[in-house]
C-alpha cells in the first residue's frame, strides 16, 4: 500500500503531464468552452477517472493551463531578450520575439486575451490569471524601457504594451500586414522619442 506509490506516483506524474499538454493544445487551439473533458481525455490517452484524479475539475485544469502557459511564454520571451545586450535592442527584441511567435504553425493569439474574452466576466480566476500575465509583461517592458534610458519609463512601457497587445490581436485576426514588424517600427519611433535623452522631449514642450 505504501509502496504502491512507487509506480503509482510515476504514472500519476506522467498522466498529469500528458493531460496538461493535451489540455493546453486543445484549449489554445479551439477555446475553453469548445473543448470538452472527453476530448481532453482522448487526446491525453488517459481514462476519465485518471483525468479527474489529476485535476479535480475543468476549472482546475483551466487554471493549470493558464499557469503553464504563463510560465512558458515568459521564459521564451526572457530567453529571446536575454540574447541581446544593447539596451535599445533589447526593447526591440520583444517585437522580434512576437514576429517569431506569430509565425509558429499553431499561433492563435494570446491565450489570456482569448480566455478573458471568453470567460473573463464569468470566471474571476481566469480574469486574475490574465491580469497577472499582462501585469508581468508590463513590468518587464517597464524594466526594458528604464534600461534603455526612457525619460518616462511608465509611459513608454504602457505604449509598448499597447503595441504588443495590438500586434497580437491583429496577428490573430489577420487585420494587419506583418503586425510584428509594424509594431517594431512604431516601438522604435516611440523609443527614439522617449530617449532624445538630453534635450528635445522636455525642451520641446512649453512649461
Partner DNA sequence: ACGTCGAGAGAACGATCGTTCTCGTTGTCG
Partner DNA sequence: CGACAACGAGAACGATCGTTCTCTCGACGT
Q: Which of 25, 52, 143, 161 binds DNA (CB under 7 A)?
A: 52
In sequence order, which residues have a C-beta less than 8 Å from that of residue 15 and are 6 or more positions away? Answer: 44, 46, 50, 53, 54
* Minimum CB distance to its own copies smaller for 46 or for 123: 123
Q: Which is nearer to its own copies, 12 or 37 (CB)?
A: 37
**Is residue 12 a contact residue for DNA (CB under 7 A)?**
yes
What are all long-range contacts of 192-197, with beta carbons under 8 Å and residues at least 24 apart?
A: 194/145, 194/148, 194/150, 194/151, 194/152, 194/155, 194/156, 195/88, 195/148, 195/149, 195/150, 195/151, 197/149, 197/151
Query: What contacts 58, CB < 8 A, 6 or more positions away?
Result: 37
Which stretch in 21-29, 55-63, 101-109, 171-179 sits in contact with DNA by CB under 7 A? 55-63
Q: According to the binding rule CB under 7 A, does residue 169 interact with DNA?
A: no
* Structure-block grid coordinates of residue 56: 479535480
* Interface residue list for its own copies (CB under 8 A): 29-31, 33-34, 108-109, 113-114, 116-122, 127, 130-131, 134-135, 137-138, 154-155, 158-159, 161-167, 169-170, 172-177, 179, 182-183, 185-186, 189-190, 192-193, 200-202, 204-206
* Interface residue list for DNA (CB under 7 A): 1, 3-4, 7-8, 11-12, 15, 33-38, 46-50, 52-53, 57-59
Amino acid at each position: 500500500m505504501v509502496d504502491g506509490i512507487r509506480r503509482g506516483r510515476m504514472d500519476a506524474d506522467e498522466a498529469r503531464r500528458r493531460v496538461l499538454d493535451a489540455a493546453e493544445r486543445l484549449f489554445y487551439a479551439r477555446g475553453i468552452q469548445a473543448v470538452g473533458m472527453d476530448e481532453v481525455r482522448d487526446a491525453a490517452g488517459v481514462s476519465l477517472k485518471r483525468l479527474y484524479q489529476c485535476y479535480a475539475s475543468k476549472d482546475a485544469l483551466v487554471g493549470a493551463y493558464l499557469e503553464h502557459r504563463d510560465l512558458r511564454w515568459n521564459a521564451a520571451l526572457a530567453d529571446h531578450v536575454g540574447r541581446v545586450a544593447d539596451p535599445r535592442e533589447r526593447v526591440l527584441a520583444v517585437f522580434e520575439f512576437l514576429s517569431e511567435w506569430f509565425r509558429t504553425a499553431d499561433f492563435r493569439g494570446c491565450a489570456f486575451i482569448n480566455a478573458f474574452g471568453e470567460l473573463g466576466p464569468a470566471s474571476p480566476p481566469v480574469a486574475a490569471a490574465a491580469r497577472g500575465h499582462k501585469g508581468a509583461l508590463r513590468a518587464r517592458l517597464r524594466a526594458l524601457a528604464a534600461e534603455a534610458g526612457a525619460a518616462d519609463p511608465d509611459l513608454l512601457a504602457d505604449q509598448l504594451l499597447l503595441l504588443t497587445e495590438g500586434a497580437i490581436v491583429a496577428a490573430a485576426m489577420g487585420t494587419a500586414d506583418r503586425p510584428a514588424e509594424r509594431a517594431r517600427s512604431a516601438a522604435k519611433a516611440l523609443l527614439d522619442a522617449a530617449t532624445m535623452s538630453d534635450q528635445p522631449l522636455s525642451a520641446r514642450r512649453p512649461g
